[in-house]
Amino acid sequence: MKYVRFFIMGILFGIILSKSEVISWFRIQEMFRFQSIHMYGVIGTAVITGILVIQFIKRTKMKDAQGQYIQVVEQEPGYARNLIGGTIFGLGWALTGACPGPLFILLGHQGLVFLIPLAGAVLGTFVYGILRPKLPH
Amino acid sequence: MNKVIEFIQQPWPWWVSGPLIAYIMFSLLYFGKGFGLSTNFKTVCNILGADKFSDFFKFDWRDQIWNLVFVTGTIIGGFLAAHYLTPSQVVAISPSTIADLKAIGVANPGASYEPEMFNAENVWSLRSMIFLLAGGFFVGFGTRYANGCTSGHAISGLSNLQKWSLVAVVGFFIGGLTMTHLIMPYLMKL
């Protein structure tokens, strides 16, 4: 039962990204061509709101539902991993027109065709895990 | 009630969606979880037995059940939005994007959420496989290499003022701009 809340949050997230057209291949093409504020507005207002939320959490030493201090994860350092990994992800983001969240949402929105990029993503993750010791990080 | 449903059925503007995404991030933090969708690919690898091939996949997947439940919810959310909340599938992209995409050979840009080459009847072609299967492969490989995608780096990382997330987001755009402007016109000729 403790998982029900995550199920509901997921449904809301799926509806939000669907209704604001973030999952659309055309919106991602428009973003990479700098021809509309739409995607920059979505990400920008999410980040501005997020900065306010995280500053509030840190300054008030807010606790989570279990009474633990809320920890916001620090990202892994390293130019190679973030820049090269980010660039490879960007190539895929432009091709599929979807980042990981939208790939799952599109499976419900558009149908089974989106099992193809999801299978590709699982395979890509697996190949990264195998090649990881040989890659610069 | 009908008025409310009609109101929701319109396309939502960006200034509604952005803060709602931050609210989802906050809700996850409040319940002790981090906002990161691409981790689910790693969990699926683990469940399929990838831990036999690399220590990278050795972890207890049960710690990620909440995330698999969340992602299952997103699939249901997408289904509900498509079938009950979106009477018009037209995406009102800018006229210049429509013109640019027509110029490289994309049919009917913005007429629906996804291009016609992703329809079930068109998908078994070399071009569609490069866009979907190779594209998905790059998404999976790149997010794990950079340790995060749009939710982990662009939303959570930038909200937490993380330098390395900014580096990753710069990478997202190097890749996306290269693909869109330099490579995609050739792929469309396949």
- For A5-53, the pLDDT digits (tens) are 999 999 999 999 999 999 999 999 999 999 999 999 999 999 999 999 9
Asked whether this complex has an ipTM greater than 0.90, the answer is yes
Say what the pLDDT of residue B1 is. Answer: 74
Say what the pLDDT of residue A74 is. Answer: 85
Please indicate, yes or no, whether residues B76 and B8 belong to a single structural domain of this protein: yes
Please indicate, yes or no, whether residues B60 and B135 belong to a single structural domain of this protein: no
User: Helix B39-47 to helix A115-131 angle, to the nearest 10 degrees?
Assistant: 80
For residue A87, the chain B residues in CB contact (below 8 A) are: 142, 171-172, 174-175, 178
Question: Which of the listed residues B87, B106, B141 is the one where a domain comes to its end?
Answer: B87
Please indicate, yes or no, whether residues B8 and B79 belong to a single structural domain of this protein: yes
Question: Which of the listed residues B39, B70, B87 is the one where a domain comes to its end?
Answer: B87
Please indicate, yes or no, whether residues B72 and B134 belong to a single structural domain of this protein: no
pTM for this one?
0.97
Please indicate, yes or no, whether residues B65 and B136 belong to a single structural domain of this protein: no
Helix, coil or strand: residue A69: strand
d(CA A38, CA A16): 14
Total of domains in chain B = 2
> Does B34 reside within a domain?
yes
Residue B143's domain spans which residues?
A: 124-190
Residues 37..96 of B with a Cβ closer than 8 Å to A: which? 37-38, 40-42, 44-45, 48, 50, 53-54, 56-57, 65-67, 69-82, 85-86, 91, 93-94, 96
d(CA B86, CA B79): 10
Closest-approach residue (CA) in chain A for B164: A77
Please indicate, yes or no, whether residues B4 and B67 belong to a single structural domain of this protein: yes
> Does B102 reside within a domain?
no
> Does B174 reside within a domain?
yes
Cβ of B77 within 8 Å of Cβ of A113? The answer is no
Please indicate, yes or no, whether residues B78 and B21 belong to a single structural domain of this protein: yes
> Does B117 reside within a domain?
no
> Does B36 reside within a domain?
yes
Please indicate, yes or no, whether residues B13 and B81 belong to a single structural domain of this protein: yes
Region B9-21 average pLDDT: 96
What is the separation of C-alpha A58 from the centre of its chain, rounded to a whole number of angstroms?
23
Say what the pLDDT of residue B2 is. Answer: 82
Question: Which of the listed residues B61, B87, B113 is the one where a domain comes to its end?
Answer: B87
Tens of pLDDT, residue by residue over B98-128, are 999 999 999 999 999 999 999 999 999 999 9
Please indicate, yes or no, whether residues B83 and B16 belong to a single structural domain of this protein: yes
Helix, coil or strand: residue A41: helix
